[in-house]
Amino acid sequence: MFPFVTDFDNRHIPSNLPPIEALSSLKSIRLRPIRETNNLKKKMRLKERVLTSKVTFVAAMALAMLASCDGDETPVGQGNNGNGNGTEEFNRVPAIGDNYQVHKFDWKGMEPGEGGENQTWDFSVLPSKSETMNLEVRSMDNSDYKNEFAQADFYTVNNFYGSRGLSDPGKNFHYFKVEDNKLIKLGRVDSMMATNVLLNTFGDPETQLQYPLTYNSSSTDEFHGSFTSVGIPFTWDGTDSYTVDGTGTLNILGKKIENVVRVKREREYLSDPIGQWTFTTYEWYKQGIAFPILVLHQSQEVFEGYYMDASEL
């Protein structure tokens, strides 16, 4: 009601009148004919109804927008099967049912390129692939090790980044949970031979990613694991540190993929009885795909590279 009172006052009281004259003007308003006063009241009620209608309309639109947003949020552990159809932020976690065709290659002699914003990384020419496999995300209901990893939300098959030499395709399993916007690895299982299964449980789990991935965001996490191989017990401590060190465009497989981020990761291990070693990994992520679409992994003289098939991008 106050805006209408203000309009009314401004219409009938000149701003340059001294206080006494202003009071006289107010007095003259009170003495107006009843018909004119009723007309003014009708106009004021009409303005109130118009304003109420506008407020109701705006409120209805706001509620409709909120309702439409409910279906766009991707729950943890569920979502799109890649192909870039996820949220515009880099916060897509692996989802049960995800399945990506991945090719392995040797990247020795190649360069990972510089970090920084608005970079262009050119991998339009890649060496011949040496192996092809499918990286899958499966339900714990299908795992033979659900008791050993009771807290896991899901597990992956052929998540080989930096570990291909430990097991054969289809016999490499990594167990994860998602908690507090973090992708946390609880352990892994590798089958080198039918009689040599490496059941590697992490007493102190490893944070692999923290969402969302934004430029210059970083994480450092210590982890601990143990396993037995051919009757020999192994224990080790590790540190996983990464920084989102670049943003820009990735040219690969005849495609120009814009708005990607690059993660540079350092993983250090101290193992008994093996010793100490360090891995360096570069990972490129596309919006809507939970796993890196290109990986360059290096440890000593081993240069493992992986890229997703063009049909996935």
Question: What number is the average pLDDT over the span 212-225?
Answer: 92
Same domain as 111, residue 44: no
pLDDT in tens, 152-188: 999 999 887 656 556 677 888 999 999 999 999 999 8
Q: What is the CA angle 18-22-26, rounded to 5?
A: 175
Domain total in the chain: 2
Residue 107 is assigned to a structural domain of this protein? yes
pLDDT reported for residue 236: 80
> Does the pLDDT at position 30 exceed 50?
no
Same domain as 212, residue 155: yes
pLDDT reported for residue 283: 96
Question: What number is the average pLDDT over the span 218-243?
Answer: 86
* Residue of 227 and 139 predicted with greater confidence: 139
> Does the pLDDT at position 279 exceed 80?
yes
Same domain as 245, residue 122: yes
State the burial class of residue 184 (Cβ atoms within 10 Å of its Cβ: 0-12, 13-18, 19+).
buried
Same domain as 62, residue 169: no
The CA distance from 163 to 238, in Å, is 15
Same domain as 287, residue 204: yes
SS (H, E, C) 241-282: EEEEEEEEEEEECCEEEEEEEEEEEEEEEEEECCEEEEEEEE
Lookup: tokens for 69: 């947003």
Same domain as 125, residue 7: no
Q: Residue 98 — pLDDT band, cuts 50, 70, 90?
A: very high
Residue 21 is assigned to a structural domain of this protein? yes
Same domain as 134, residue 283: yes
Residue 93 is assigned to a structural domain of this protein? no
Same domain as 237, residue 116: yes
pLDDT reported for residue 171: 83
* First-residue to last-residue Cα distance in the chain: 58
**What one-letter code names the amino acid at 43?**
K
Question: What number is the average pLDDT over the span 271-282?
Answer: 85
pLDDT in tens, 36-46: 444 444 445 54
Residue 86 is assigned to a structural domain of this protein? no
Same domain as 120, residue 58: no
The CA distance from 173 to 155, in Å, is 6
Same domain as 303, residue 260: yes
Same domain as 177, residue 214: yes
Question: What number is the average pLDDT over the span 184-194?
Answer: 83
Same domain as 132, residue 60: no
Q: Residue 33 — pLDDT band, cuts 50, 70, 90?
A: very low
pLDDT reported for residue 284: 97
**What one-letter code names the amino acid at 273?**
P
Residue 244 is assigned to a structural domain of this protein? yes
pLDDT in tens, 51-71: 444 434 434 444 433 333 343
> Does the pLDDT at position 141 exceed 80?
yes
Q: What is the CA angle 285-291-295, rounded to 5?
A: 65
> Does the pLDDT at position 49 exceed 70?
no
Using CA of residue 165, residue 170, residue 173, residue 178, what is the dihedral sign?
A: positive
pLDDT in tens, 247-262: 999 999 999 999 999 9
CA 133 distance to own-chain centroid: 24
Residue 288 is assigned to a structural domain of this protein? yes
Q: How much is the pTM?
A: 0.70
Where does a domain end: 51, 70, 89? 70
Mean confidence (pLDDT) of the chain: 75
Residue 89 is assigned to a structural domain of this protein? no
Residue 90 is assigned to a structural domain of this protein? no
Question: Residue 66 is part of which domain span?
Answer: 2-70
pLDDT reported for residue 67: 38
